[in-house]
Structure 1
Amino acid sequence: MTDQPVLIATDGPVLTITINRPDKRNAINADVLAGIAAGYKQAHADPAIRVIVLTGTGDKAFCAGADLQPGRGMGFGQDRPNSDYADLLRLSQNATKPSIARVNGACMAGGMGLLCMTDMAVAADHVVFGLPEVKVGVFPMQVLSLLQDMVPRRLVAEWCLTGEPFTPAEAVSAGLINYAVPAQDLDAKVAWLANRLIDKSPMAISRGKYAMRAIRAMSFDEAIAYTEAQIALTAQTADAKEGMAAFAEKRKPNWGHT
């Protein structure tokens, strides 16, 4: 198992996807993309899984970006786009289960896209972030598709156009990550955040994630009409009825699986 480029492990309701190429700073290649996608699909096929955690092996790198060595299958310098990476970002955006990035080390270039594709993120306070693509004559095009909705425009411009690194404190301030903690507290903080998700309604989270994505491209009038209809539909679900009953009976709800 340890020589696999991506490791998938479950611990109760949490499925953890670990990029396992520490000798390459957990750089992305075709096998890594396939492995992460397989993890997302496995999580969604198993109703017992409530949270996905994405991380890297070791403490040096979460993901240093694409493996630029010849023959690694990432598509750079070829006459076609890197569709596998784009397809993974598409898959993540259609996910209905919440995800957390456990950023254990350097998060650079394409690794920033993996960070951005999760719903929440916790980073160790020694981590370095960056989008250095301009230093090698390319640009973080696909990362930009997610980053631009997450971080203020002028910071996006600074990070992408200068290619210079930035700190976890700056990442928190920008809204790129939720928390930065000492490395020894990283697992505890990720577990704390995951536990705040797994006792909530899986149906409400699933529908809520779908709605949050749907309204991004809507005007206010479109969004309020859409969400008005969605709240009415959500209120008729088994989870909503169970949640209301549990509240009235002063007990913990017994959620069904989605």
Structure 2
Amino acid sequence: MSDSVKVERRGAVLEVTLDRPKANAIDAPTSREMGDVFAAFRDDPELRVAILTGGGDKFFCPGWDLKAAAAGEGPDEYYGVGGFGGLQELPNLNKPVIAAVNGIAFGGGFELMISADIIIAADHAMFALPEIRSGTLADAATIKLPRRIPHHVAMEMLFTGRRFDAAEAKQWGVVNEVVPAADLMTVARAKADLLASGPPLVYAAIKEVVRETSHLPVQEAFDLVTKSKLPTVKTLYSSEDQKEGAIAFAEKRDPVWKGR
């Protein structure tokens, strides 16, 4: 990997650090590299969980690199297999991703953050969707945020672009947990280790079910799941892990998950 995207394997956990001083802004080459990193994570059977964080203690990511924009990079640039930041549009990413937000997450950085499954924020982190002030659309946030927090709160954030702190982010459910900055990676790693010890086929099924049924009426969603029409659900219900879960419960022991 380049100096801008640092990758470390820790057992079944992949740690990805966006490190582009001074602010960890993302240009097109960096976005493409991040997409390649997360696609490789998706396809590696030995890896079960990823953590995404930023280098330094001030910025997680402020979004698009405006210096690159000034040099001619446009919004229609190819940002890679996963879309901007490598996560937002990556197909079939059926493994848990944790965002460890170490500072400012504005604009595209905020959208990158909410592409994760679990978000842990340092207590000094700040958030905003300032695109409104430059006359552009925070497209991913406009799609996702009103579905995740109260509609009127999301609309106000999108309309005003105002900043809000980690405590308010926790209040509205934008982040799962707020911790002292010094504890951020310790907490994120503990959460990742917990998930890495769990059943990967169930995680895959959870992510596909959520992704494929969010727009459906409840009964149609149930039909997809109960009739095993989704590939991950079909795989789970015919797997060794499914049998292992039942046997381990009967034998009063911890299951040994093999991911098959």
**Do both share a fold (TM > 0.5)?**
yes
Q: Distance in 2 between matches of 1:248 and 1:204?
A: 19
Which residue identity lines up with residue 25 of structure 2 in the other structure?
A
Q: Distance in 2 between matches of 1:127 and 1:55?
A: 12
Q: State the shift of 1:36 in Å.
A: 1.5
1:84 aligns with 2:69: no
Partner of residue 241, structure 2: 239
Would the alpha carbon gap of residues 72 and 118 (structure 1) be closer, same or farther in structure 2, given more than 3 Å must change?
farther
Q: Distance in 2 between matches of 1:167 and 1:238?
A: 45
Partner of residue 119, structure 2: 121
Q: State the shift of 1:227 in Å.
A: 2.1
Q: Is the 8 A contact 1:30 1:72 kept in 2?
A: no
Aligned pairs for 1:1-258 (under 5 A) are 4-23=3-22, 25-69=23-67, 70-71=70-71, 73=73, 75-76=74-75, 81-84=76-79, 87=83, 88=86, 89-91=88-90, 94-230=92-228, 234-257=236-259
Q: Distance in 2 between matches of 1:153 and 1:97?
A: 28
Q: Is the 8 A contact 2:28 2:78 kept in 1?
A: no
Unmatched runs of 5 consecutive residues or more in structure 2: none
Q: State the shift of 1:83 in Å.
A: 4.8
Q: State the shift of 1:28 in Å.
A: 1.1
Would the alpha carbon gap of residues 94 and 154 (structure 1) be closer, same or farther in structure 2, given more than 3 Å must change?
farther
Would the alpha carbon gap of residues 34 and 83 (structure 1) be closer, same or farther in structure 2, given more than 3 Å must change?
closer
Q: Distance in 2 between matches of 1:232 and 1:35?
A: 32
Identity %: 34
Which residue identity lines up with residue 13 of structure 2 in the other structure?
V
Q: What TM-score do the two structures reach when normalised by structure 2? A: 0.90
Aligned partner of residue 54 in structure 1, secondary structure: strand
Moved more, 160-169 or 235-244: 235-244
Aligned partner of residue 84 in structure 1, secondary structure: coil
Q: Distance in 2 between matches of 1:98 and 1:151?
A: 21
Q: Is the 8 A contact 1:204 1:239 kept in 2?
A: no
Q: CA RMSD in A?
A: 1.9
Which residue identity lines up with residue 6 of structure 1 in the other structure?
V
1:57-84: per-residue Cα shift (whole Å, max 9, x none)?
00010001111122263x24xxxx3552
Which residue identity lines up with residue 123 of structure 2 in the other structure?
D
Would the alpha carbon gap of residues 117 and 72 (structure 1) be closer, same or farther in structure 2, given more than 3 Å must change?
farther
Which residue identity lines up with residue 121 of structure 1 in the other structure?
I
